[in-house]
Amino acid sequence: MDDYGSDDESVQDYTETKVLLGYAETEPSSDLISHLGGEPIWPHPSSPADARLAKCACCNKLMPLLLQLNGAIPESPHERMFYVFGCKEKTCRRKKGSMKALRGVKVSKDYELRIAKAKEEEEARRAEEKRKREEDATKPKAGNLLFGSGAGLGMGAEGNPFSAGGNPFSTTATAAATANPFSTKPAAPTTATPTAEKLTKSFADTLRISSTTKPEPEPLLYGPSEPWPSPLPFTYPLFYFDADYETLVPDAPIPQKIEEVLGDDKTSDSLPVSNNDADDGHLDTVFQKFADRAGQNPEQVLRYERGGCPLLYSHNDEVAKTLLDSKKEFTTGRIPSCTECGKRERVFEFQLMPHAISVLEGDSMGLDGMEWGTVIVATCTCAPKVRDVNGVGWVEEWVGVQWEGQN
């Protein structure tokens, strides 16, 4: 990442791209979290994902972890962690749902406090408006009561916990609440025990109201979450990451951008392609581009370029249909909208490269091993609405698997 090398002479020989490449290392560098294989490390030790989220949609078996990636980015106020799981059952190969990508999000307490405070202020403002409307309607001379409602404290307050807004304490209560240790309670609404103390009670009410007005997302899974077995049924060997920006030799015979591969028929002229079989010609070209680009840094197991453009293994499968427009240029437009926030803001974030297979499997799997060409993951940055007491929530992200040989 940090390019403080003294190899200035070599700079002219290479073109550096914006793609951060991950290389598998047996020894950890600075990042102890991101890794290939091994076991998942949860955003909080006592907040594992529901094990059902990591089960194969075809055989329902718990899938081993292929990749965990720390996805912390400046534009997200939340901690983000990615997990890619893949089924190793032979019968599930090439089937949809036999690979899954999860995004674990840990929302900071700071963020929760800010949200809680904003909600309180909004509720207080609405209550004040409502109180004014009611006063205007029922008491034409309400002006006299603006500061006189203190006499009625506790009376007529039922049904509207914010009716106390008519007295100066209510604003004090709101202000005090944000600096008050109770304000950490939004993370655990069920523990918001009402107390007899006036200020606390009104604050607890505020919390209860804001938690009930929060739109409840449709739960991903029903019932209590499923714990992870210990030990896990199968894990791949553990590797850490070394990361470096991709460098390419400018004179290499391969174009740099996928659009060039797709948008310009002339690029395929140099290759032995039959004019009558343009599709096949493109396929060969696409795969060749993939192989050649990857071949410039053959040990890469991961390509990371949030908001960038994946390197496609094929232009002729379901994934390509999703990711390419009519001009065969990369588009995020057809990536399904986020299952959590419903927005169509998912962008390409990273892809696993096939060298990861030989790293993970070593010589152990042989013909029984994984058979994908690349695994592309597109993600959102939203905070899951359902979060546990540690502020951790989960979103299943879009994963596109391009299978080996399907080009």
246 binds Zn ion (CB under 5 A): no
Min CB(59)–Zn ion separation in Å: 3
Which is nearest to 404 in space by CA: 357, 350, 338?
357
41 binds Zn ion (CB under 5 A): no
Q: Which of residues 338, 375, 376, 378 is near Zn ion by CB under 5 A? A: 338
Footprint (CB under 5 A) of Zn ion, residues 273-312: none
C-alpha 123: how far from chain center: 30
317 binds Zn ion (CB under 5 A): no
For residues 338 and 399, which CB has a smaller minimum distance to Zn ion in the complex? Answer: 338
Which is nearest to 209 in space by CA: 288, 124, 274?
124
Q: List C-alpha distances in Å: 364 to 212, 236, 355, 358.
A: 53, 10, 15, 9
Q: Which residue has the tokens 């718990």?
A: 62
**Gyration radius of the chain over CA positions:** 28
232 binds Zn ion (CB under 5 A): no
382 binds Zn ion (CB under 5 A): yes
Min CB(98)–Zn ion separation in Å: 5
For residues 57 and 291, which CB has a smaller minimum distance to Zn ion in the complex? Answer: 57
341 binds Zn ion (CB under 5 A): yes
For residues 64 and 281, which CB has a smaller minimum distance to Zn ion in the complex? Answer: 64
Q: Which of residues 33, 41, 58, 153 is near Zn ion by CB under 5 A? A: 58
Binding residues for Zn ion, total number by CB under 5 A? 11
Query: What is the Cα–Cα distance from 34 to 350, expressed in whole angstroms?
Result: 13
Return the H-helix or E-strand segment holding 350.
strand 347-352
Q: Which of residues 59, 157, 176, 209 is near Zn ion by CB under 5 A? A: 59
Query: What is the Cα–Cα distance from 359 to 139, expressed in whole angstroms?
Result: 78
Angle between helices 109-138 and 168-178 (to 10 degrees): 170
Residue span binding Zn ion (CB under 5 A) among the ranges 51-59, 71-79, 173-181, 273-281: 51-59
Q: Which of residues 89, 128, 292, 329 is near Zn ion by CB under 5 A? A: 89
56 binds Zn ion (CB under 5 A): yes
For residue 364, list its beta bridge partners: none
Q: Which of residues 24, 92, 116, 353 is near Zn ion by CB under 5 A? A: 92
| Sign of CA pseudo-dihedral 215, 218, 224, 229 | negative
Min CB(351)–Zn ion separation in Å: 20
340 binds Zn ion (CB under 5 A): yes
The Cβ-side half-sphere exposure at 331, using a 13 Å CA radius, reads 12
Three-state secondary-structure class, residue 150: helix
Q: Which of residues 19, 87, 102, 352 is near Zn ion by CB under 5 A? A: 87
Min CB(393)–Zn ion separation in Å: 11
For residues 58 and 175, which CB has a smaller minimum distance to Zn ion in the complex? Answer: 58
C-alpha 304: how far from chain center: 14
Min CB(307)–Zn ion separation in Å: 15
Query: What is the Cα–Cα distance from 296 to 247, expressed in whole angstroms?
Result: 8
Write out the residues near Zn ion by the rule CB under 5 A: 56, 58-59, 87, 89, 92, 338, 340-341, 380, 382
